[in-house]
């Protein structure tokens, strides 16, 4: 759970966390055009999760770096302002 003005932690390739499960599920809710193939939900930020994040970032005009930070979390609706 986040509080006002906060986002989940920043994650990148190689990370493993329960919050990555939420990220993978959220990305799977988007169409193939937005994120590519469905992800296996396992909490591991591997190459497929990174590729889905890159596709998502590109689709929404975010900084394309494959890292799930505040800008990406915000677009996914995980941040409270």
Q: CA 30, CA 74: separation in Å to the nearest integer?
A: 15
Burial class of 70 by CB neighbour count within 10 A (0 to 12, 13 to 18, 19+): middle
- Confidence (pLDDT) at 81: 72
Q: Which residue has the higher pLDDT, 51 or 4?
A: 51
Arithmetic mean of pLDDT, 8-14: 98
Task: Count the helix, strand and coil residues of the chain and give each as a percent rounded to the nearest 5.
Answer: 45, 5, 50
Q: What is the pLDDT of residues 25-78, one digit of tens each?
A: 999 999 999 999 999 999 999 999 999 999 999 999 999 999 999 999 999 999
pTM of the model as a whole: 0.92
Q: Which residue has the higher pLDDT, 41 or 1?
A: 41
Specify the CATH superfamily of domain 18-76. Answer: PGBD-like superfamily/PGBD (1.10.101.10)
């Amino acid at each position: 759970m986040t509080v006002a003005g906060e986002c989940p932690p920043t994650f990148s390739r190689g990370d493993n966390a329960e919050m990555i499960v939420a990220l993978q599920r959220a990305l799977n809710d988007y169409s193939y055009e937005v994120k590519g193939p469905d992800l296996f939900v396992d909490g591991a930020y591997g190459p497929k999760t990174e590729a889905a994040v890159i596709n998502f970032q590109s689709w929404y005009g975010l900084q394309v770096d494959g890292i799930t930070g505040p800008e990406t979390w915000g677009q996914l609706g995980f941040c409270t302002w």
